[in-house]
Amino acid sequence: MKSRRDFFAFAGIAGGALAAGSVARAAMVSLPEPVVETSAATRPPLQPTAGRPYRPVVTLN
């Protein structure tokens, strides 16, 4: 006889696999392309193409 613990363990695994399978494709489409850096130097800030200019603050960790 199966125990209640076995039932919920199987239901959790099956539910997680079903949810991961249905969400994975839609989630991967919306991910931005990763930025690849070749050096550890701090890059200059991006300048806006339109609008007010700004002076960003660089915080060193």
Asked if the structure places residue 24 within a domain, the reply is yes
Asked if the structure places residue 61 within a domain, the reply is no
**C-alpha dist (Å) from residue 30 to 15, 19, 27:** 23, 17, 6
Asked if the structure places residue 20 within a domain, the reply is yes
Structural domains in the chain (count) = 1
Provide the pLDDT for residue 29.
Answer: 75
Asked if the structure places residue 5 within a domain, the reply is yes
Alpha-carbon span 12 to 54, nearest angstrom: 50
Provide the pLDDT for residue 10.
Answer: 77
Structural domain of 13: 1-30
Asked if the structure places residue 47 within a domain, the reply is no
**C-alpha dist (Å) from residue 59 to 26, 37, 42, 53, 56:** 34, 18, 10, 19, 10
Q: What is the mean pLDDT for each group of 10 consecutive residues in the chain (61 residues)?
A: 76 74 68 82 80 78 74
Provide the pLDDT for residue 1.
Answer: 56
